[in-house]
Amino acid sequence: TVIFDMDGVISDTQKIHSRIETEMVARYGVIITPEEIERRYAGVSLNILFRELLEGKDADISTLIDEKRAIMMQEDVPAIPGSVDLIKTLHIDGYNLAVASGSTLPYIKLSLCKTLF
């Protein structure tokens, strides 16, 4: 059995995440680059990211998380180079394949469909 992480292993989503998060916090006057968000918050929950970046701002974190997830559902998700070929080869060779992710199940399904098919 081979277990893949999705973001950054199968799907090249980090730059998409950080671009959207940068745009969202900018609405509250928080200026941060996508590169800084990647450096500081890659793999960190949205709850922590928004709470830290919007500390002292009048922001509903739950609403922002829902909004971010909805935006991500609309994005095209490119594959990490070589990931699709590896998955296909492993499948043909009879390996059991699984995905582990901190993302929501609807996003995982959509992202994998966009990435793999």
**14 vs 54, higher pLDDT:** 54
Q: For 13-32, b where at least 16 C-beta lie within 10 A, e where not — what string? A: beebbbebbbebbeeeebee
**Residue 48's pLDDT band (cuts 50, 70, 90):** very high
pTM (global) more than 0.75: yes
Radius of gyration of the chain (CA): 16
Contact 112, 6 (CB under 8 A): yes
Give the residue among 106, 107, 87 at the shortest CA–CA distance from 98: 87
